[in-house]
Amino acid sequence: MLNKVFSELFGSKTNCKTCIYQETPSYIFDGKPTGCLIAHIALSLIEAILIAKYYSKPIERLLSKCNVKNPWNLTLTAVLLHDFGKLTNSYRKGKPSKAPHNIVSSIIASKVVEGAAKPIISYAILFHHEAFHWKDVERLLGVISIHQTVPSKIKAEFNEKILYTFYENLSKLIKVIKLDFLNSVLYSAIEKAEELSGKPLLSKLEIVKLTPTNLALPAALALYKIIYICDNRAASARSEYWVYKAKKVNWTDFEDAPKQVVKNFTLKRYLIALSEIPNHIFRLEET
């Protein structure tokens, strides 16, 4: 799928044959790590580029009021780092962890970004799986700190070789997409992950509070929505994702089929949004 997208949109081939996608899964299916995180991040960035014409101006207006420089660049940074936590050893091996990937991603992003943008990107990434933290989202109506959401002694371990090989492969795709500035962001995240591996990711000195009167709150929620859209659109580009879902529906049962569609397509609160990647790329090969 990634090869088709890059060939169609950029006239370029990917380096999938020399990649380490087996070591960097993008999701867990039936308890087993699968997919390719490198491809998922690249597709997410492409989706961000495609929806920019609809969202970039309102995002820029809102984030500018929070004294954020280059607001859309921050948006792209959030999309780049939203699943960084999937590089932890536990996630790569499909093992349960006290450090969910969105929490780890949020903390790494907070180490990479400085100034007024820090709480905005941290919370946006933290809540891009809002179903995991719905009580925390509800508390955003009051006052919330990242310390209330994340255990203060949470730890995550990374494999140094995997981190830098991940960077090497993804950075090549980022250059093709022509978002070169993100490679320095990605490298910084790699360094922070290496530095924090096996250590507490959060300390009391890094507590960031949001209040209803703080413009960072609506900015974080707006940025979270962009991540959510790009993440789900990129996930829907998996070559067999929707095919698998469709096969679980008994289409001959006319009375029950609608219920099965709801069950199989919305079971995990997926945002069902059609990608803006050209439709003909998704045509199944005739057999």
Strand extents, DSSP E, the chain: 27-29, 32-34, 144-145, 209-210
Is residue 253 in a domain? no
| Span 92-128, pLDDT tens digits | 998 877 778 888 998 899 899 999 999 899 888 987 7
Buried b (16+ CB within 10 A) or exposed e, 147-164: eebbeeebbbebbeebbe
Is residue 100 in a domain? yes
Total domain count for the chain? 1
Amino acid at 209: K
Domain of residue 96, CATH code: 1.10.3210
Q: Are 23 and 14 contacting, i.e. CB atoms less than 8 angstroms apart?
A: no
Is residue 152 in a domain? yes
User: What is the model's pLDDT at position 272?
Assistant: 43
Among 106, 138, 135, which residue's Cα sits nearest to residue 208? 106
Q: Which range marks the domain in which residue 132 is found?
A: 2-236
Q: How far apart are CA 200 and CA 155, in angstroms?
A: 5
Is residue 111 in a domain? yes
User: What is the model's pLDDT at position 265?
Assistant: 62
pLDDT in 10s for each residue of the chain, 287 residues: 677 778 777 788 777 766 777 889 998 877 888 889 999 999 999 999 999 988 999 999 999 999 999 999 999 999 999 999 999 999 999 887 777 888 899 889 989 999 999 989 988 898 777 656 555 555 555 555 555 556 667 788 999 999 999 999 999 999 999 999 999 999 999 999 999 999 887 654 455 565 656 778 788 888 988 998 898 888 875 545 556 667 778 888 888 888 887 776 655 444 444 343 344 433 333 33
Is residue 124 in a domain? yes
Q: Are 160 and 261 contacting, i.e. CB atoms less than 8 angstroms apart?
A: no
Sign of the CA dihedral running 222, 5, 80, 159 = positive
For the entire predicted model, the pTM comes to: 0.80
Is residue 270 in a domain? no
Is residue 272 in a domain? no
Q: How far apart are CA 147 and CA 79, in angstroms?
A: 23
Is residue 45 in a domain? yes
Q: How many CB atoms lie within 10 A of CB 11?
A: 8
